[in-house]
Amino acid sequence: MEKISLYKEMGDTPKKSAFRSFLTFRGKPAPVFYLVLLLCSALISFTVAYSGVGGGIAVLALIVGLPLSYGIVVYPKFGITILLISAYLLMWVYRMGIVDYPLGTLMDALLGLLIVGFLIKQKKNPDWTMFKTPVGIIIVLWISYNILQFANPFAESRMAWIYTIRSVAFVMLMYFIFCYHIRTVAFIRFIVKIWIALSLFAALYGLKQEFIGFFDYEFRSIDNQRFRSLLFIAGHWRKFSIFTDPVAFSYNMVASAIMCLVLIFRPAMVLWKRITLFVLASIFLYSMLFSGTRGAYVLIPAAIVLFVILNPARKVLLICSVIAVLFTIVVFLPTSSPTIRRFQTAFRPSEDASFNARKNNQKRFQPYIRSHPIGGGLGATGGWGVKFAPHSYLAQLPPDSGYVRVAAELGWIGLFMICTLFFIILKTGIDSYWKIKDPELKNYTLAMILIVFAYAIGNYPQEAIVQFPSNVYFYLYTALIFVVARLDAEKSNKVTNENNIQA
C-alpha cells in the first residue's frame, strides 16, 4: 500500500514505473536502451540504402511518432504542452517548405490522441462537471449544430464541410480537455510561461521582418498577386511573423500584452517582475503595430475600459487615465510614419477605405442571411468556398468578419449561438471574478475575461478564432476561467474543513 501511494503522489503508476525500470539501471540507461538505439539506426540506414532518403524519413517519423503518441495519451500535461507549442510554430514550419505535407492533419492527430487520453482518464477518474456548465452546454450544442450542417440542403459542397469542421467545431473539444487536465496552479503558471515565451519569440521575429526583412522562403510564399494586394499597402509590407497572416499575428500579440498588463497588477508582486512584464507588453504592442491590422488596434483600449469597470481602484484609475491621455495624443499627433498613420485611421472609420468596403460587403450578405436561417453550409465562404464551389454566390463575397462568416454559413441561428457563447463565457468569468478570493487566481480570471472580451470585439472586423494558434488558445482562455474558479473553491473548502477540524 505504501508503494502504491508513493506512485500516486509522484503522478505515476506501477505500470509506468516498470516501463521506466526496463530502460534504466541504477539511474542510468540500461543496456537494452542502447540496443534499441542501435537497432533503430540500423533500420534507418537499411531503409535509406534501399528506398532512398524519403523512406528513411518515414521510418524516423515512425520511430519518433510511436513513443511521442504514447507520451501524449498517457501523460496529458505533456500532450497539452506539445499542442500549445505546435499551435504557435505550425505555420512557421509549414512556410519554410521543409515538409511537403499538410501539417494541420498532424494537429488533428494530436487532438485525437488527447481525446483518447481524456476518455481513458474519464474511465478511471470520471468527472463530467465541465459538460454541465453553461459554457460546456453551449459548446456541445454548437458542435452538434455544426455536425448537422453536413446535411444542409443549401450547401454547395460537402468537401468544404469536411475541411472546415476541424477548425470551427472539432477544436472546441479542447475546452473539455483543458478543463479536465489543468488541476493545479503550478501547471497554470507553467502554461503562462510557455505562452509568454512563445509570444516573445513571435514578437521579436516580427520585428526582425520589419527592420531586417523577410527570409527568402517567406518572400516566396507571399510573392504573388493575391498576397501583394493584401499585404503590400502604401509601399510597405504588413508583417505576419511566424503566423498565417497579419491578423493572427496582431491578435495574438494583443492577447499576450493583455495578459502581461493584468499580471502587473497582481498583489505582492516584486518590482523587477512588474518591470519585466511591462517591457514584454510593450514589445508585444510595438511589434503588433507592424502587422497593419486596424481591427487589432482598438482591442487594447476596449480591454482597458472593461478592466477599469471590473477593477475601479484609485491606482488603476490613475494609471489608466495617464495611458488614455498618451493614447489620445498618439491618435491625433501629426506624423509621416505610414505605420502610425494606419494606426490612427483605426480610430477614424470615415478615413478607413477597407472599413467602408467591409460595410458594403456585409450589406450584400444581408438578404441571403435573412432568407437562409440555417445558412449556406459550413465552408461556403472564403478559401474553401472558392476551392470547392467557386461559382456559388457565397464564394464570390469575402466575409471579412467572423460574425458575418458564421451568419452566412450557419444562418442567423448560428450567429445567435456564437454570440450566446461569447456572452456566457464573459458572464461566467465576471461572476467568478467577484467570487474568487485568492489574489493570484483572481488575477488570472481577470486576464482571461479581458482577452475573451477582446476576441469578441475583434471577431467583428476580422475572423479572430479560426487560425492557429488562436483557435486553440481561445479555448484555453475559456477553460482557465472554469479551472481557476474550481481551484479557488477547492482551496476555500480545504480551509473551511481545516477550521472545522481545529474547532
Tens of pLDDT, residues 181-225: 999 999 999 999 999 999 999 999 999 999 998 888 888 888 777
And the C-alpha cell for 54? 524519403
Per the CB < 8 A criterion, the answer to whether 240 and 248 are in contact is yes
pLDDT tens digit sequence for 228-278: 777 887 778 888 999 988 999 999 999 999 999 999 988 888 999 999 999
24 beta partners: 29
Check residues 98 and 366 and name the one with the higher pLDDT. Answer: 366
Helix (H) or strand (E) holding 28: strand 28-29
How many degrees, rounded to 5, is the angle at CA 180 between CA 176 and CA 186?
125
232 beta partners: 237
Is the confidence at residue 5, as pLDDT, over 50?
Answer: no
Rounded average pLDDT over 450-457: 95
Task: Specify burial of residue 36 (Cβ count, 10 A radius: 0-12, 13-18, 19+).
Answer: middle
237 beta partners: 232
What is the C-alpha separation between 406 and 380, in angstroms, rounded?
10
> What DSSP string describes 224-288?
SHHHHHHHEETTEEPP-TTSSSHHHHHHHHHHHHHHHHHHHT-TT--HHHHHHHHHHHHHHHHHH
- The helix/strand/coil state of 29 is strand
pLDDT for position 9:
38
Check residues 323 and 474 and name the one with the higher pLDDT. Answer: 474
Rounded average pLDDT over 25-44: 59
What is the C-alpha separation between 238 and 371, in angstroms, rounded?
38
Task: Name the pLDDT band for 12 (thresholds 50, 70, 90).
Answer: very low
pLDDT for position 105:
79
Percent of the chain with pLDDT over 90: 36
Check residues 360 and 116 and name the one with the higher pLDDT. Answer: 116
pLDDT for position 38:
67
pLDDT for position 446:
95
Helix (H) or strand (E) holding 67: helix 31-74
CA distances for 239 relative to 164, 232, 365, angstroms: 26, 10, 30
Percent of the chain with pLDDT over 70: 83
Q: For the whole model, what pTM was predicted? A: 0.86
pLDDT tens digit sequence for 331-375: 787 777 777 777 777 777 666 666 677 777 777 788 888 888 888
What is the C-alpha separation between 167 and 475, in angstroms, rounded?
12
> What DSSP string describes 181-231?
H---HHHHHHHHHHHHHHHHHHHHHHHHHHHT---HHHHHHH-SHHHHHHH
What is the C-alpha separation between 309 and 331, in angstroms, rounded?
23
Terminus-to-terminus CA distance in the chain, angstroms?
A: 32
pLDDT for position 260:
94
pLDDT for position 2:
40
pLDDT for position 54:
56
What is the C-alpha separation between 465 and 454, in angstroms, rounded?
11
Is the confidence at residue 15, as pLDDT, over 50?
Answer: no
CA distances for 337 relative to 233, 237, 333, 343, 477, angstroms: 13, 13, 11, 10, 35
Residue 443 CB contacts under 8 Å (≥ 6 apart), including other chains: 262, 263, 265, 266, 267
Is the confidence at residue 393, as pLDDT, over 50?
Answer: yes
pLDDT for position 56:
55
pLDDT tens digit sequence for 41-78: 666 666 666 666 555 566 666 666 777 888 888 889 99
What is the C-alpha separation between 140 and 137, in angstroms, rounded?
5
User: Phi and psi at residue 353, in whole multiples of 5°?
Assistant: -65, -40
pLDDT tens digit sequence for 117-161: 999 988 888 888 889 999 999 999 999 999 999 988 888 888 888
Mean pLDDT of the chain: 83
Task: Name the pLDDT band for 22 (thresholds 50, 70, 90).
Answer: very low
| Residue ranges covered by each domain of the chain | 26-121, 127-493
pLDDT for position 223:
76
And the C-alpha cell for 305? 475600459
Residue 136 CB contacts under 8 Å (≥ 6 apart), including other chains: 130, 175, 176, 179
